[in-house]
Amino acid sequence: MLNCKAKANPGSLAEGPSLAARRRKKQKMKLDSIVIACFKKDLHLMRICVASIRYWYPEVDIWLLKDRFGGDFSTEEVEKNFNVRTLESPGLFHGWGFAKFEVFFTPVKRFLLLDSDTILLGRLLGDLERFDDDFIVSGVRSEDPEEPRIIRDYINSRLCREMNPGFVYPGYGINTGQMVITNGVITREDLEGLVTRKGGLVEEKYPNLFPYADQGVVNYVLALKKAAKQASVRYHDFFIWPGEERAATIDLESIRRREGIPAVLHWAGLKPLDFKQFLRLDLLLFFEDLYYRQIPGGASKRRAREVLRLSTLRLKQLKHKLLKQR
């Protein structure tokens, strides 16, 4: 464990084998599993995500990590037609973002974890298999820990050092919507001191330090693990945000030709009420078309769901209008 004199030391690392010892034992593992974190309100995007994976990888194992805190939901359609399975987990963590912690305690050993609001833009797994690090992460690379977007979206290094002098800023912020994970490195003890439980929900214990639920906590824990040489963490730039300039250069025609680029497009935080207002809607519609072509009665189901989505949009717009009037 880290030996730090501090006012408090939340998230002190559980004892584990040294990085060198684990590397001697670890054989290079093929990256042949993808886990998608989902809940009942993002089924539409999850279906598109699955279709994008199957477009590039017909045989790779796809698992759904289902957060059922907001209610159970059926994924039978996507499981049956796209050879997808639900990943059983211990049920330790629930609620926005934190449900992704469940994946650390499942039998899948090494995998790419994706949020539902993502698509694969090409054959990414081979690019990631070049590395045998415990974690392969992406997000924002910055040598300045005081950069506003690092503090806003990832972690407040100054406050972390005040609380735990052993914290070392690694030079980047990790977006947890896409990352390669090797299980057996992060333990329940690593996480429990950093969260609270209220009515079954897991919440941030230190929200000023750890923004965006699981994201800030993972940034903190992996920074500690890396500094203590209990994990190898590699930053590799494979995340593209639709709001940045390079997203505009993604060529749909190259995807149609099954060329693409080894990257993930992730609509992190970008959720307009109207689906038609999504940036790079053309890419979403391309994979949505592929999804419904493979579903029995797909055209009818798609129309029915579009009507439902439009009705829901109108109700939300009316609700927002009434709230403004108040």
Q: What pLDDT sits at residue 326?
A: 60
What is the pLDDT at residue 7?
38
pLDDT band at 241 (very low <50, low <70, confident <90, very high): very high
132 CB neighbour count, 10 Å cutoff: 15
Residue 305 has pLDDT above 60, yes or no: yes
Q: What is the pLDDT of residue 14?
A: 53
Q: 92-101 pLDDT, tens per residue? A: 787 777 889 9
CB 1 within 8 A of CB 14: yes
Confidence label for 62 from pLDDT (cuts 50, 70 and 90)? very high
d(CA 90, CA 79): 21
Mean pLDDT of 254-262: 97
Work out the average pLDDT over 247-265.
97
Tokens of 174: 């990790």
- Range among 90-104, 228-242, 265-279 rated most confident: 228-242
Question: Tokens 């995500």 sit at which residue?
Answer: 49
Mean pLDDT of the chain: 87
CA distances in angstroms from 198 to 5, 59, 94, 195, 205, listed in the order given: 30, 40, 10, 10, 11
**Sorting pLDDT into bands at 50, 70 and 90, what band is 296?**
very high
Helix runs in 57-98, H state only: 76-82
CATH number of 19-240: 3.40.50.2300, 1.10.8.80, 3.40.50.720, 3.90.550.10? 3.90.550.10
pLDDT over 50 (residue 191)? yes
Collapsed DSSP state (helix, strand, coil) of residue 40: helix
Residue 123 or 309, more confident: 123
- Domain residue ranges of the chain, discontinuous segments joined by +: 19-240
Which of 194-203, 243-252, 253-262 is the least confident region?
A: 194-203
- pLDDT value at residue 317: 64
**pLDDT over 50 (residue 21):** no
- Least confident window among 26-35, 74-83, 256-265, 285-294: 26-35
User: What pLDDT does residue 28 have?
Assistant: 57
| pLDDT of 269 higher than 60 | yes
Lowest-confidence range among 148-152, 203-207, 282-286? 203-207
Residue 4 has pLDDT above 50, yes or no: no
